[in-house]
Amino acid sequence: MKFEDFVYTKENDLFYKVKLANEYLDSGETTGTEGLGVQILEKSSPELIMREKNGHEYSTIMLGSNSYLNLTQHPQVIEGARKALEKYGYGMGAVSLYAGITDLHRELEERIANFYGTEDAIVFPSGYGANVGIISALCNENDVIINDSENHASIFDGCKLSGAKIKVYPHSNTKQLEKILSRLDDSVSGRLIITDGVFSMSGDLAKLDKIVELAQKYGAKLMVDDAHGLGIIGKTGRGTAQHFDVMNKVDLHVGMLSKVPGAIGGYCATTKEIARYLRLYARTYFFSTAIPAPIIGGLIEVFKLLEHDIAGRVELWGNINYMKSQLEVRGFNVSNSQSGIIPIIVGDEKKLFEFYNDLRLSGVYTNIVTYPAVRRKECRLRLCVMKELTKDQMDRAIEIITQKGKEYGIIE
C-alpha cells in the first residue's frame, strides 16, 4: 500500500478513505510518516529536545528547519516584535481591506520593494497563499503557465485554481522549456513562466539567465519563487536573481517570510500596478486576515539585517560547504545542491523510511521526501543547514549519518 492509494476510493461514503488511511497508519507498517509532526520542547536552535508521538523525549540535531539564519531568536528581531506587540496588540481583527493594516505592515512592504529594487510589494498572510493568490489572480482559461516539474506544490495549486493551461518541463531542462514556448499557438493570450529560484527538494538553482532569455524571446512573463534563496544566494543575499544578475528582469519576485525571515507570510515584489491589482484580485489576500503586527515588527528588523547583509549569510555558507563536502567525501549522492538545502538521494522508498526513522531516533532530525514531491526512484532525505550549527554538532551528525548510511547500504 502507498499513502496516496486511499485518496481516490470509489466507495459511496465520503469518509471511507479516511477510515482506510487511519487503518494503514495504525497497521504497524513503516509508512515514512512516523517522524512527521514531532513536538519541539525548546526554542528553535540547531540542537533541541524533541518529543515523539509515543511520548519518547530525546535531544536531536536539527537538520530540518528552514530558519537557516535562526533569526527567530535574534535579539533585534525579538525586540521589534515585542515593541509592536505592546503598541498594536497581538491580532489584526479582520482582513486587510476591511480592518486596515498598520504603518508597520506598509513599512515592511516598502522595505521588501526596496530590497528587490521594485516599485512596490504586497505581503500575504502565508507563503502558500501568496503563490496561490498571485497565480490565480493573474492567470485564467485564456492563458498558459509553464512550470518546472520541481516547482513547489503551492505553485501547482495556484495554477490549477487559475484554470489556465498548465505545461510542465522536466526539472531545469531549458531545452524542453524552449520547445514548449516555441510550440504555443496564438490562441493563448498570456504566458507565464514560473520557477522556484532554489528548488526546495533538490537545493539546486534555476538557470535564471537562460530562463530570462527565453521569456524575453517568446514574450512570456516570469515569476520566481525564491523561498529558499532569500538571504542566502547572491552576492548580498538578494537571492537567485541576484546570483544570475537578472534582478530587474523578473516580473514577480515571490518570497516567503517563513524561511530565512523565520516567521510566517509571503510576498510579491513587483510594479506598483501589479501590487495594486493583487490587493484587490488575489483572493488569498482579500479574504484572509493580515499577519499580526508583532510578527511584522519582527520582520522589519529581519529586513534591516538583510538589507545590510549582516544576518549571517557568510557564516551559514561556511557550514553549508563543510556539511556538503563531508557528505560527498563519504560517498553520499547530494545531487546538485547549491544552497542551504542538501539532499541525500536514497532511491528506494523502503530503505528511505528505515534510514530516516533510525537517524531520527539516533539524534539526527532530517526531512523525508518522496512521491509526490519527487519521483519515487529519486526519494531522498533533505538536510537543511543552519548558521548556528557548531562544528561539533555537524561532525556528530555526519558521523551518525555515515554509520547509518553504511548500515542501510546507501554508501559503501
Helix (H) or strand (E) holding 145: strand 144-148
Binding mask 67-106 for ligand PLP (x = CB under 6 A): ----------------------------------------
Q: Toward ligand PLP, which CB reaches closer, 34 or 225?
A: 225
Question: Hey, which residues between 196 and 225 contact ligand PLP (CB under 6 A)?
Answer: 196, 200, 225
Three-class SS state of 345 = strand
CA separation for the pair 29, 43 (Å, rounded) = 32
Q: Which of residues 117-156 bind ligand PLP (CB under 6 A)?
A: 126-128, 131, 152, 154
> Residue written as cell 532554489?
198
Cell of 223: 515569476
CB 259 within 8 A of CB 227: yes
At its nearest, how many Å lie between ligand PLP and the CB of residue 357?
Answer: 22
Q: Is the dihedral of CA 164, 268, 113, 309 positive or negative?
A: negative
The smaller minimum CB distance to ligand PLP, of residues 84 and 256, is found at: 256
First CA to last CA distance, the chain: 30
Residue nearest to ligand PLP (CB): 127
Q: Check if 228 is active-site.
A: yes
Active site (annotated) includes residue 17: no
Of 206 and 389, the one with the shorter C-beta distance to ligand PLP is 206
93's grid cell: 481583527
Report the alpha-carbon distance of residue 144 to residue 159 in Å, rounded: 9
Nearer to ligand PLP, 192 or 398 (CB): 192
Query: Residue 380, Cα to own-chain centre: how many angstroms?
Result: 16
Q: Which residue has the cell 538536510?
A: 383
Question: What's the rounded Cα separation, in Å, for the pair 256 and 379?
Answer: 25
Minimum CB distance to ligand PLP, residue 364 (Å):
21
Question: Least distance to ligand PLP from the beta carbon of 62, Å?
Answer: 17
Q: Which of 136, 200, 202, 335 is catalytic?
A: 200
Residue from 74, 171, 228, 253 carrying the catalytic annotation: 228
CB 151 within 8 A of CB 372: no
105 is catalytic: no
Q: Which residue of the set 152, 243, 253, 259 is catalytic?
A: 259
Nearer to ligand PLP, 266 or 298 (CB): 266
Are 384 and 65 within 8 A, CB to CB?
yes
- CB nearer to ligand PLP: pick between 50 and 123: 123
From residue 235 to residue 274, what is the string marking binding to ligand PLP with x (rule CB under 6 A)? ---------------------x-x-------x--------
For helices 103-116 and 293-307, the axis angle rounded to 10 degrees is 30
Residues lying near ligand PLP in the complex (CB under 6 A) are found at: 126-128, 131, 152, 154, 196, 200, 225, 227, 256, 258, 266
Which positions are catalytic? 200, 228, 259
